[in-house]
A = this chain, B = another copy of it.
Amino acid sequence: MIYTQSVLTLHLSNLKENYSYLKGLASHSIAAGIVKNDAYGLGIERVVPVLLQEGCQHFFVAHACEGVRVRRLAPNVQIYVLQGIGNDSLSDFISAHLTPVISTPAELVFWKQNEIESIFPILNVETGLNRLGFRLSDMKQLDDTDKKRFSFVMSHLACADEREHFMNQKQLKAFELMRSFVPDLPASLSASDGVFLGRAYQKDMVRLGAAVYGLNTAPYRPNKMKPVMSLKAPVLQIVDVPQGDYIGYGASYRAVKDMRIAIVSIGYGDGLPRSLGRRGRFFWGREELPFTGRLSMDNVMCDVTGISTLKEGDFVDVLNSFYTPDDMGADAGTIGYEILNEIGKAGRLRILED
């Protein structure tokens, strides 16, 4: 048999289990589902129905255009838009009944001029990440009418994936200070990583993203999440390369001995980061097949010297249960989030679901 297309399997049953597990860890909080960035690359249309089945009633997206897609799937849930509302998205907020996360005084002014009936925004406050949010001086300007416009107050942790990082306590304290200006509002502080820091960080709503997608947001201990992505790629050709021959673009790899390589039908056009370079590897069972030479857009060459069982037409593992997006991210000098993003959006993989 000959195969040319790589196969991405999305483990939606694992995604469901991950969500339930995290929801159980924060059982007194609302368990919101984060489906921004096309559900971390997996596809809003695939992920939202799974979370709905598990009873999720609160969804976060980054942009209004994503919220519109969630609304089509979920007519009766709350949909919060993290990047907020503006002139370029107001019509989407109205038509899809989206709730903005308001992060700047100017945005609050805009909201007061364009308020949508029965929508109560979230007030986002800055506590140490120095990203979007009201600062202390902005909080002091809020009047009582302003404060009644909101449904929640939220912030975001910078270092919650490091349990003992001093920033966690510091941000918790800063959050309590900011909350003192809006004492009647329920609060949300933590994403997946903060959930693992315990009840003090969980507040009234947790925002479950990365860990739902299988990433290890508590890397100080082995991952408890199940992987949501497996990827395998077909071997198109296996050839002998004599000592001294070059492999790949730029002739950057030279065979120091006679070797045997496999040419595998996957590349950075399928979402593998080019920065994997020589650290990249496929798996054939438990055998590692190191990349040789540069990744190209459509193909990767790897060393299969001495691997006699591998044949043309076989599929090698690119991501599996023991080599996850987190592992590939580490090899590529990045994080699992970016791996999910790129592979999920590649657009030319055969996609299966289980």
Residues of A within 8 A of B (CB): 1-5, 36-38, 62-66, 82-89, 103-104, 106-107, 110, 126, 128-133, 135, 158-159, 162, 165, 167, 234, 236-237, 239, 241, 245-251, 261, 263, 265, 268-269, 273-275, 293, 296-299, 301, 312-313, 333-335, 337-338, 341-342, 345-348, 350
Verify A106–B2 contact, CB threshold 8 A: yes
Verify B2–A131 contact, CB threshold 8 A: no
Verify A130–B297 contact, CB threshold 8 A: no
Verify A348–B130 contact, CB threshold 8 A: no
Cα–Cα, bound, A136→B159 (Å): 56
Q: Which residues of the other chain, B, contact A239 by a CB distance below 8 angstroms?
A: 126, 130, 135
Copies in the complex: 2
Q: Which residues of the other chain, B, contact A162 by a CB distance below 8 angstroms?
A: 250
Name 6 extra pairs, CB < 8 A, besides A4-B63, A342-B342: A37-B269, A103-B236, A135-B239, A158-B251, A165-B251, A297-B341
Verify A158–B345 contact, CB threshold 8 A: no
Verify B131–A263 contact, CB threshold 8 A: yes
Verify A4–B158 contact, CB threshold 8 A: no
Q: List 14 A-B contacts (CB under 8 A).
A: A37-B298, A62-B298, A65-B348, A83-B265, A104-B237, A106-B312, A130-B241, A132-B237, A167-B246, A268-B337, A273-B338, A274-B338, A275-B333, A275-B334
Given contacts A274-B334, A296-B131, whether A38 and B249 have CB atoms under 8 Å apart is no
Q: Which residues of the other chain, B, contact A131 by a CB distance below 8 angstroms?
A: 248, 263, 296, 299, 301
Q: Which residues of the other chain, B, contact A159 by a CB distance below 8 angstroms?
A: 249-251
Q: Which residues of the other chain, B, contact A103 by a CB distance below 8 angstroms?
A: 236-237
Cα–Cα, bound, A129→B237 (Å): 14
Verify A298–B82 contact, CB threshold 8 A: yes
Q: Which residues of the other chain, B, contact A299 by a CB distance below 8 angstroms?
A: 83, 131-132
Verify B86–A158 contact, CB threshold 8 A: no
What's the nearest-Cβ distance from chain B to residue A96, in Å?
A: 15
Verify A298–B5 contact, CB threshold 8 A: no
Cα–Cα, bound, A347→B106 (Å): 28
Q: Which of A2, A293, A341 has the most CB of B within 10 A?
A: A2
Cα–Cα, bound, A106→B2 (Å): 8
Q: Which residues of the other chain, B, contact A135 by a CB distance below 8 angstroms?
A: 239
Given contacts A159-B250, A159-B251, A338-B268, whether A87 and B130 have CB atoms under 8 Å apart is no
Q: Which residues of the other chain, B, contact A249 by a CB distance below 8 angstroms?
A: 129, 158-159
Given contacts A130-B246, A159-B250, A237-B132, whether A87 and B265 have CB atoms under 8 Å apart is no
